[in-house]
Every structure is written in C-alpha cells, then in structure tokens.
Amino acid sequence: MVVVPAVSTRSREWTPVLTGIRAELLDCLQANLAVLADHAYRPGAHLALGAAPRFHCATGAAGVAVTASVEQRLSEAAALLGLRSAQRWDDVSGPRLRALLADHSPLYVVADTFTMTWLPYAGNQHMEHSFLLVEAGEHCVVVDGYHNSTPWGDARPGTWRMPAAAFDAAVPRADAMTIVAGGAPVLDRAAVLRDNAAAARADAGRVEGYLTAVRSRADDPDGAAQLVLDIWLLGRSRALHAAWLADDPATAGAAREAAERADAWRALAGQSYVAMRRVRRGGAFPGHVLDQLTGLLSDEGALAGRLAVPSGGPAADPGRIRETLAEEVRAALGISPDTPVDGRPLRALPGFNSFRLVEVIERVETRLGVELDPDELTGAALHDLDSLSAAFGRARPAAQEVPGR
C-alpha cells in the first residue's frame, strides 16, 4: 500500500487560533484542548490549563513514568476551562470517525502517533496523541496544535488535508469525543494557589516513591529514555504554570519565581538528554543529574507554598496568617470547622500535643513560604492562636535553594 502523506494547508477558521497557542508549553493531550479553548473563548484562554500543575505518574510495563491520562486531562479542562466531554466513542475506525463528523464537529480524537502521517513520529514511535478532525468529505482536514522537536523532524501546530482513504490509514483505531464549551469559570487565583500547595504536600509520598524507582532504573537505556521524557513533561507543566501566573498582574510576583523554576527544569532536560546518550554507550547515568531532579521535585511543596503567599508577604496580611493557622490546627487535630480554636490555650484543644504542634508549624511554614526563627519557639509564643500568629508575622521568607549549586 502506498502511503499518501498529509498536505499542510491553511484554514480560515483554525489557522488564526493556532497562531495564538503557547504550544511549546503543552503536552500532546493538552495541545488540542487548548485549541478548542481559544476557539471557543479568546486568545490565551488556554493558559488556564496551567493553573493547577499536578504530579501525575503511573506504573506500566516500562515501570513508573510521569504521565497524565486522557481522563485526567479532560477533568482538568472541565474544571479550569469549562470544556466538557459530551459524547465519547471508543475504539472506532477511520471510516466511523468520518461518519461521526457529519453530526459532531469538531471531534477531539486520541490515537497512536505511529500511523499519523502529519507527524514525525509516523513509522518511528508509538505514543498516545490528540488531534481535531474538522472536515471529513472526499478529503479530510485535521488540526493539530502540538509542538515538539524529535530525532525524526519537527512537529509544529498546523492544519493538514488528505484523501479520505489516507485518513483511514493514518487513524485505523481511535477514541473520539465531542467537547462542549460551557463557559470558562472565573478562577479564584488565591484559592487555586492554596489548593496547589495542599496538593503538593499530599504528593510528597508519591514523589519519594517515584524518585526511588527512577534511581533503580536510570542506568538502563529504556529507563534513562523514560526519565528524559519525564523531565521534559514536568518542565512543560511548570512552564505552563508560570505562563498562567504571568497572565494576571495579581500573580506577577509569583510568576517570576515560577519562571525561574521552569528554567531550571529546562536546563535539567538538556542535561538528562546528554546523560541518556552516555547510558546508551554503556556508561552510568550521572548522579548529579539525579540529585538535581531530586532537589527540584522535593522542593515542589515549599515552592507551591511560597507561590500561595501574597506578594506583600505574610506580615502584610495578618488575617491570612490567622486563617491559615486555624485551618491547619483543625486539620491536625481532626476538629470540625465549626469548633472554635480562638481565645483558648492550644493545649486545651482535644488531641493537642507537641507532635501536633510541630505538624501545624511545618505545614503553615510551607503554605506561607516562611520559616520561624528558632528563638521564636518559646512557651509564650506557642500558647494560643494569637501568640502563634504574632510569631508568624515576624517570620522570615523560606530559604530558596538552587538545585545543583
């Protein structure tokens, strides 16, 4: 069978949308959700996909890997952009996709890159990938907002046209969805950043397990290759978060630190690629690269806590300090939200002890991005919520370590 390559073309409807996408920050599932978001709302709307970065990982045949499933990306698009999957068809053929488009346009399609003739992965690599099917008559038109450089050539956002038979060969099996834009929600940025800090703390155990698994397989060529991909994905995710922060003056201060961290991820991606090539030649994966990865991932909770602090610093917002303390005291002691914790000694609260106090202090330090001076840890300062709030008002910003230095 002769393979007919897809031909790059322009679309009056979709090409202008593609030009506004920060495609270099998106993974292959997010890219075309981003296209749908900007098409439905406005240029730049897709940056909300970076509002809530998470540590997605899963264990497969090749071991543990950083990866987000289609379901996870759809859930994020629904929560952050109001893009919801209205209908879904699994394991359908190219002809079935073309038939569906008659009543459901556009279709968000997820299939294997190995046969997608508009991508450099065709014939070279199997990978789950999304695209939009927007026309399906005698000729088909696909839109793909993906951006990446590969050993086989560059993938860039574009629109491609091909005969129906060529499309059927390029997409022999796929999952397809209609995505409905129900209106982009107005995100409470402060609340999102607080949730990010809490999620990063909750992920600490999974991160530790992932790092242990990574070190055990880094000297294996397949393990090293997966690690390069993991770092690349984490770097994109963190850079997208920085871009979302920079999109609003209210979070411009947080954006600067997030952008610096994203730069560190990008630098590590380059180092890991060189390290992988050494492993392929029979060498060991350099320990300092693994140490830098450990430093970046282990600091995610502290970084998220710092980003959640108002730019004026905790001392400028005593109400925020008190609210955070009350939340963490209740969480540590398992106290219901309607139980008062003000106006009484901390030791009088049910379940309170020195271990719970340390837990509260550490969690509040992480959320506020500060460190209590050891001299502040006196009996008087730890007596009640008032005295502890005052101590946090005098706290210094947490030290920011630069991994690898």
Give the pLDDT band of residue 308 (cuts 50, 70, 90).
Answer: confident
Give the pLDDT confidence score for residue 269 in this predicted structure.
93
Range with lowest mean pLDDT among 48-52, 198-202, 256-260, 306-310? 306-310
Residue 143, C-beta contacts closer than 8 angstroms, at least 6 positions apart = 11, 14, 18, 32, 35, 106, 131, 132, 134, 158, 159
3-state secondary structure of 97: helix
Angstrom distance (rounded) from CA 258 to CA 244? 10
CATH number for 314-397: choose from 3.40.1560, 1.10.1060, 2.60.40, 1.10.1200.
1.10.1200
Angstrom distance (rounded) from CA 318 to CA 392? 9
Angstrom distance (rounded) from CA 236 to CA 28? 11
| Cis preceding-peptide flag for 106 (omega within 30 of 0) | yes
Q: In the numeric block, which tokens belong to residue 378?
A: 């006196």
CB atoms within 10 A of CB 375: 8
Give the pLDDT confidence score for residue 316 in this predicted structure.
46
Give the pLDDT band of residue 403 (cuts 50, 70, 90).
Answer: very low
Q: What are phi and psi of 161, to 5 degrees?
A: -120, 140
Q: What is the pLDDT of residues 16-60, one digit of tens each?
A: 999 999 999 999 999 999 999 999 999 999 999 999 999 999 887
Q: What is the pLDDT of residues 142-158, one digit of tens each?
A: 999 999 999 999 999 99
Q: In the numeric block, which tokens belong to residue 70?
A: 């289609």
Q: What's the average model confidence in pLDDT over 272-288?
A: 93
> In which element (H, E) is residue 136 found?
strand 128-136
Q: What is the pLDDT of residues 181-221, one digit of tens each?
A: 999 999 999 899 999 999 998 998 999 999 999 999 999 99
CB atoms within 10 A of CB 178: 17
Angstrom distance (rounded) from CA 167 to CA 136? 9
Give the pLDDT band of residue 239 (cuts 50, 70, 90).
Answer: very high
Kindly provide the residue ranges of all beta strands, DSSP E only, lying in 174-307, ordered along the sequence.
174-181
Give the pLDDT confidence score for residue 2 in this predicted structure.
52
Give the pLDDT confidence score for residue 400 in this predicted structure.
45
In the predicted structure, residue 248 carries a pLDDT above the cut 70:
yes
What fold does the segment set 7-181 form as a domain? Cathepsin B; Chain A (3.90.70)
Pairing verdict, β 158-163 and 7-9: antiparallel
Q: What is the pLDDT of residues 69-128, one digit of tens each?
A: 999 999 999 999 999 999 999 999 999 999 999 999 999 999 999 999 999 999 999 999
Q: What is the pLDDT of residues 335-394, one digit of tens each?
A: 877 778 888 888 888 888 888 888 889 888 888 878 887 777 777 778 888 888 888 887
Give the pLDDT band of residue 405 (cuts 50, 70, 90).
Answer: very low
Please calculate the CA angle 277-283-285 and round it to the nearest 5 degrees: 70
Give the pLDDT band of residue 271 (cuts 50, 70, 90).
Answer: very high
